Structure 1
Amino acid sequence: MIEQVYKISTGNEKAVEKVIYDENLHYLHMVFNKDEGLPEHFSNSNVYMTVVRGTLSIGLNDQEIHKYSNGTLLKIPVNTKMNVKNLNDETLELIVVKAPAPTK
């Protein structure tokens, strides 16, 4: 078998899954229910964030919180302060790709 196969969760339970975490890229799958999210942090690589379902509420650097619906792809530069939350009733599901893979 040439290909490698990975699985991601398919439910509504909170999840932060490191699906692929190698020297090339980091591929993460995240699921957040209302009022859940990530601790505020700075991006350690270029971040490509796809909203698979729900609505993402995100504050970047000193901007006000912006909302993005499913089907939206955000490109966030390295060293950007990020505040990622689900402030809505519907479950939020994200695919996050960090490329190049962070070295720290």
Structure 2
Amino acid sequence: MIEKVYKYSTSDDKVVEKLIMDDNVNYIHMVFGKDEGLPEHYSNSNVYMNVIRGKLSIALNDQEVHSYEKGTLLEIPYNTKMNVGNKDEAVLELIVVKAPAPQNYKK
């Protein structure tokens, strides 16, 4: 078999699944219920966030919180302060891609 197959959760339970973490890319699947999310942190590479379902609430650097619905793809630059979460009733599901992989990021 040439291809490598990855499976991810299809549940509504909170999850942060690091599906691909190699030298090329980080590919992460996330699911958050209301008032769940990530601790505040700085992006360690270029980050692409694809909202699969629900509504993403995100504050970047010193901006106010912005909301993005399913079907939205965000590009967030390296070294941006991020506060990521779900402030709505509906389950939030995201795919996060970091490229290049953080250990290979060059300014």
TM-score, length basis structure 2: 0.96
Deviant stretches of 4+, over 6 Å: none
Aligned pair 1:20/2:20, yes or no? yes
Aligned length: 104
Unpaired runs of 5+ in structure 1?
none
Identity of counterpart residues, as a percentage? Answer: 69
RMSD, matched Cα? 0.8
Cα deviation, 1:58-78, whole Å, max 9, x if unaligned, reads: 000000000000000000000
How far 1:22 moved relative to its partner?
A: 0.3
Distance in 1 between residues matched to 2:32 and 2:59, nearest whole Å: 16
Cα deviation, 1:15-69, whole Å, max 9, x if unaligned, reads: 0000000000000000000000000000000000000000000000000000000
Aligned to 1:32: 32
Distance in 2 between residues matched to 1:70 and 1:13, nearest whole Å: 18
Aligned counterparts, 1:1-104, within 5 A: 1-103=1-103
TM-score, length basis structure 1: 0.99
